[in-house]
Structure 1
Amino acid sequence: MPHWLQLMADSLPSLLWAGLIFTIPLTLISFVLGLLLGLMTALARLFAPRPVSAIARFYVWVIRGTPLLVQLFVIFYGLPSAGIYLDAFPAALIGFTLNIGAYSSEIIRAVISSVPKGQWEAAYSIGMSWRQAMMRTILPQAARVAVPPLSNTFISLVKDTSLAAAITVPELFQAAQRIVATTYEPLILYIEAALIYLVLSTVLSSLQARLEKRFARYGGMLEANA
């Protein structure tokens, strides 16, 4: 077996283990929390009083206007100077959650705004409250439109978790860096890490396509019954 292939085979379990223990949990947890934060931020920008809406706009402006790597450094390396100490994984989780929250809020705000006003009027005409109209009428329609952009955000997050290596989270990419430090074979190990990310992205893109088709069929059924 060629040396490079043997090295990739020997390092593969360590890389996959780091991905299973750190990369995947970091991605899933931060995406779910970021999605909830994004929903609250979008609703605040659309419906909250002006002071609350202004705070939400400021949050989105700051996060979208600064690099994710800088945000991670501020949280992990900067906050200790203010007396706030966080371990690497919670710091990365906070950073990714805030980042996903800002970007997903713009997606959610756009899709909620795209729902025709007649849907609100129809919900109110049958006695629904604002909350009932939002939960039963507006959000289900908005969710169907939001699936593609939110899925793309999730796939991007999988790749962006490699930035957590910069704040010492032992995820997939840092596992590759540690092996490089002992084998002195950066090209082989970094290509292997890239291939793992490529496989993950390909699988997720395939799942995204299936999810979009399912939502498209669901939307067609709703329109047919309307």
Structure 2
Amino acid sequence: MGLDLTVVPPFAGLILQGALWTIAITASAGVLSFFGGIGFAICALYAPAIIRYPIKAFAWLFMTTPLLLQLFLIYFGLVQIGIDIPAFFAGMIGLGLHFAVYNSDIIQTGILAIDKGQHEAGRTLGLSRGQTLRKIVIPQAVRDVVPPIGNNMIALLKDSALVSVIGVVELVHASQLAISETFRPFEFYLAAAACYYVVNLLLEFTLHRIERRIALTR
């Protein structure tokens, strides 16, 4: 039998399409996880108890259950109560919320590390509490926690393979479709691994560029 990479080129279009869907779901879920993390962090630290405690319970739920189970609940479970979400958006929401709660913990740490004098300075300038957070505290906190958030984005890219179980034709699912026709799993999983490696390099390059630009503003 041996290794025969010549079976891969005829399915290059399918693999490329899967890679593009992987990038799309990673990017959209990454944006959701970033801004969702900021929102959760602010609510956990400053919202009234009636909002703060449900948010903390929600975060605890997402941190203590597997991502795969969360995807099943969003895609298959919500249909039973009349909420039918397309597979791509179910995957985006599941990935985004899962990593948002982890980003929230990181951002909360960043906010608490900001000197209280920054809050007082904002109030002295006539800014409201919300304006002080939005214009002074949050930008500094996010700047300081970019590296760990970047690590979460890389983890999100790798975990995006899980959305294949709900029918999203991303890289792994595209490889499985090719395997079902050729019965050559090693070649196509190897091709998928190579694609993940390239996408991961691009993501790391982008994150390093962002970190360098932020470092110049310090």
Name the TM-score, length of structure 1 as normaliser: 0.89
- Whether the 8 Å contact between 2:111 and 2:141 is mirrored in structure 1 is yes
- Whether the 8 Å contact between 2:19 and 2:195 is mirrored in structure 1 is no
Partner of 1:16: 16
- Whether the 8 Å contact between 2:114 and 2:137 is mirrored in structure 1 is yes
Following superposition, the deviation at residue 199 of structure 1 comes to 1.2
- Determine which structure has greater relative contact order: mean sequence separation of CA pairs < 8 Å that are 6+ residues apart, divided by chain length: 2
In 1, distance between residues paired with 2:59 and 2:3?
Answer: 49
Following superposition, the deviation at residue 88 of structure 1 comes to 1.5
Matches within 5 A, 1:11-50: 11-20=11-20, 22-50=21-49
Cα distance, 1:196–1:49 mapped onto 2, change above 3 Å: same
Unaligned runs of 5+ in 1: 220-226
The letter of the residue matching 1:169 is V
In 2, distance between residues paired with 1:79 and 1:19?
Answer: 28
Partner of 2:73: 74
The letter of the residue matching 1:88 is A
**Identity, % of aligned positions:** 35
Name the TM-score, length of structure 2 as normaliser: 0.92
In 2, distance between residues paired with 1:72 and 1:143?
Answer: 28
Partner of 1:56: 55
Q: Does structure 1 residue 172 correspond to structure 2 residue 171?
A: yes
Unaligned runs of 5+ in 2: none
RMSD of the TM alignment (CA)?
1.7
Question: How many residue pairs were aligned?
Answer: 217
Matches within 5 A, 1:138-177: 138-177=137-176
Partner of 1:204: 203
In 2, distance between residues paired with 1:156 and 1:79?
Answer: 26
Cα distance, 1:3–1:9 mapped onto 2, change above 3 Å: farther
Q: Please list every run of at least 4 consecutive aligned residues from structure 1 whose deviation after the TM superposition is greater than 6 angstroms.
A: none
Moved more, 137-146 or 85-94: 85-94
Deviation track 1:24-54 (CA, whole Å, cap 9, x = no partner) reads 2211222212222221111111001112110
In 2, distance between residues paired with 1:216 and 1:151?
Answer: 15
The letter of the residue matching 2:185 is P
Give the secondary structure class of the aligned counterpart of 1:108: helix
The letter of the residue matching 1:103 is Y
Partner of 1:126: 125
In 2, distance between residues paired with 1:84 and 1:215?
Answer: 41
Partner of 1:224: none
The letter of the residue matching 1:100 is F
The letter of the residue matching 2:31 is V
In 1, distance between residues paired with 2:8 and 2:113?
Answer: 48
The letter of the residue matching 1:205 is E
Deviation track 1:113-146 (CA, whole Å, cap 9, x = no partner) reads 1111111112222222212211221122112112
